Each structure stands twice: as structure tokens, then as C-alpha cells.
Amino acid sequence: MRKWLTGSIFLYFIYGLFMYWYLFVFSGSGVPAPYTGTSADPATFMSGRELLLSQEYSTIKNFLYFVTVPFEWFLFFVLLITGISRKMQEWSDATTRFFSLQSAIYFFWLSIFVTVLSFPVEWLGYRISKAYNITTQSFPAWMKDQVIDFWVNYALMTVIVIVLYWLIKRFEKRWWLYAWLLSIPFSMFLMFVQPVLIDPLYNDFYPLKNKELEEKILAMASEAEIPAEHVYEVNMSEKTNALNAYVTGIGSNSRIVLWDTTLNRLSDDEILFIMAHEMGHYVMKHIYIGIAGYLLASLVGLFFIHLLMRLMIKHFGTLLKIRSIKELTAFPLFLILIGVLTFASSPIANTVARYQEKSADMYAIEMTNNHEAAVSSFQELSKAGLSDVNPPTLVKLFRYTHPTMLERIVYLEEHGEKE
């Protein structure tokens, strides 16, 4: 056990050093020479201080992301190899004879363990965002969101754990298939209720106060055949200076939402371009394509997790203190594998997402025919979020679900020159 723990810590340290070298030493900043001085060059729309802060903040944020992703895997590994996971199962078994309650108790202790040990990292991310004036949220308000996060995730995951292990116990060889089939209605249900049940736990939503702007947005929605009767505004200025807008939910619970920071900082023309972009996703049915892609990926992923768990328990079960896949003790191994597979597949998922985002951008520019507003909206988004317009390759591959700001501004400019 000591050898494995020492080895894993050493590998984690080497990985952290590599990411530090890659982000802080190897990767350069700025834009390629052909775009220097163009509207895609942050030096043309950011002050010297904003440019410096964006480079610092983006690099620190990316480094924190890459070193914290495997940190949770490491925590789950420690739970297994030290036997803490088995102790948690023994506590839950001794508390009640009902399996559903045993699962809830086990997952509660697992959640507490991970939350407490991850808290310093979460707090560091909050402090960095606060220091760069991205986050405006007070510490008590931030803690309130953390507590809400904990209980929402605990409630949802407890249901998943109970159903998952009931399936594993009942259908040991085909559990992955039945779990996938049940995940379809469950995912659709969550997407349907999120706008009306989950999102309001974190923020206050209300009809857009600017009725003239709402009429313009709804007119665009009508043109795009989107069944929307209201545009919602959400009070995000208490939490962040970043900008955002989105269309959420499915069916009758679909909502068009604007952050108040976006309303306060952007002009009507810029907001209309952003709204047209979001409508483009709806028109091109990206949400349903995304659901189909997620379901396909989850089917393949669950099958591989089934195979890998059986293989790892067979060869390393003694080391990990796992006797059978049917034990709750094995759940951290399930979480490690799903985390690793999700991270490994993220470049593919992000590539598809970036293609969809570019398509939505082109839809928006065709609908609004306002290149100046489109470019300036992306510039303002970069300034507000201190975004790196031209991030390093690994950052783009693993983190960017949208094209880089450099790419977005360049192809909008090229589109304008063709007209």
C-alpha cells in the first residue's frame, strides 16, 4: 500500500510539474503575427492592465483546472487502498438492514470525505477569481452555494447509487445496459425540471425588465419558430462580472435567459447577436444532437467501465480492498473510471461542441447581419471574463467547448469581407 501511495503521489507531482512548465514556461501568449493589430488582437480592445490580468488569470485558472482534475481520482484511490471505503460500507451495513438506506449512508460519508478534502482547492479557486474581480460574491454567499451544491448533488447521486447497485446485484453481467436505458428518461426529466426546480435554488429569475428589448428578442424567436413567450433575466451581478446568455430546458419548460451583467454591459445590438446565437442552437437542434451524442457515449462508457471494473477487481481487488463489483466499497473505483474516461474523451466532445458553436455563430450573423456588433460582443465577453483569446493547444483541446475568441472574431471578419 505504501509503495502504491508513494508512487501515485510521485506521478501526480510529476504531472503537476509538467503542466506548470507547459502553461507558464513553454506556451507563449498573444496572437499569431498575421492577426496582430486586427480586431482579434486583444491589444486593440484591452488596456495594458486588462491584457496583463487576462494572461495571468487564464494561465492560473488553466493550471488549477489541470491539477485538480486528477486530484479527485487520487482521493478515491486513497479511499480504496487505505480501506476507508470498506469501513464506510461496514458502518452503513451496521446502521440498517435496508439496502437503500445503506447506500444513502455510505454515499453520505463518501460525499463528506471528498467535500472536506476538496474544500481547500475549491476555496483557492474562489479566492483567485475574487482577486481578479471575476467573482463578486461574498464568502458567506459562496458558501451558501457550496452547501446547496452538496445537497443537490447528494440527493441526485443517492438515487443513482441505489438504482445502480440494485441493477448490479440483480443483473451482474448486463447492469451497464439497463443502467443506460434508465439514464435516458432520467436525463430527460432533469433537463425538463432544471429551469423551474434546480436553477432557482441558486439565482432569482424574473421576466426581462426592458420590454422593448424583450419584444425584439421574441420577434427573433418567432422568426426562428421558437415557442417562447417570455425572456428571463437572472441576477448574476451579485456573483460575477462575467457575461452570459443561454436557452435552457426542453419542451414547455424551455427558457431564454439573460444575465443582468450582459444587459448592463452590452448594447442592444450586441445582445441581439448573442440571442440569435443561442436561437441558432435551438433551430439546428443542437440540444437533441447533444443528447444523442451523450447517450451514445454513455452507453460505450458504461460498457467499458463494466469490463474495466471486473478486470481491476480480478487483478487488484486485494490491494483495493474490493471483493466484488456488487459491493458499495467498489463505488469509488466506478467514479475513478468514469472520471478518467470523461476526461480522456473530452477532446472529441469539445471538438463537436466547437463545431456547433461555430454553426450557431454563423446562424446569428446571417440573422442579424451586424458584423460590428458581433465582433464587439466577443471583445466585451473577453474583457469581462479576462479570457485568453488564443489559449495553448492542450487548453483548447481539453477545456474549450467554444472556438477561441481569436477564431470567432476572425471568421466573423472573413464572413463580413465576403459580403
Residue written as cell 480504496?
80
* 253 exposure class (CB count in 10 Å sphere: 0-12, 13-18, 19+): middle
Burial 392-419 (b: 16+ CB within 10 A, else e): beebbebbbebbbbbbbbbbbbeeeeee
Residues present in the chain in total: 419
User: Using an 8 Å Cβ cutoff, are 396 and 404 in contact?
Assistant: yes
Q: Of 214, 233, 270, 278, which residue is the catalytic one?
A: 278
Grid cell in block for residue 15: 504531472
Nearest to 361 by CA among 262, 264, 280, 251: 280
Instruction: Indicate the Cα dihedral angle 356, 358, 359, 361, nearest 10°.
Output: 130
Task: Please give the helix or strand (H or E) that residue 192 lies within, else none.
Answer: helix 175-193
CA–CA gap between residue 249 and residue 3 (Å, rounded) = 48
DSSP assigned state of 246: E
Handedness of CA 401, 279, 257, 233 (dihedral sign): positive
User: Using an 8 Å Cβ cutoff, are 377 and 272 in contact?
Assistant: no
CA–CA gap between residue 50 and residue 57 (Å, rounded) = 10
User: Using an 8 Å Cβ cutoff, are 328 and 106 in contact?
Assistant: yes
User: Using an 8 Å Cβ cutoff, are 245 and 364 in contact?
Assistant: no
CA–CA gap between residue 15 and residue 341 (Å, rounded) = 18
Exposure on the CB side of residue 108, measured as CA atoms within 13 A: 8
DSSP assigned state of 250: S
Exposure on the CB side of residue 406, measured as CA atoms within 13 A: 19
User: Using an 8 Å Cβ cutoff, are 85 and 329 in contact?
Assistant: yes
| Distances from the Cα of 204 to the Cα of 138, 252, 292, angstroms | 17, 20, 31
Annotation says 278 is catalytic: yes
CA–CA gap between residue 22 and residue 30 (Å, rounded) = 16
Q: How many CB atoms lie within 10 A of CB 110?
A: 25
Across the beta sheet with 245-248, the strand order is 205-207, 231-234, 255-259, 245-248
Tell me which residues are annotated as active site: 278
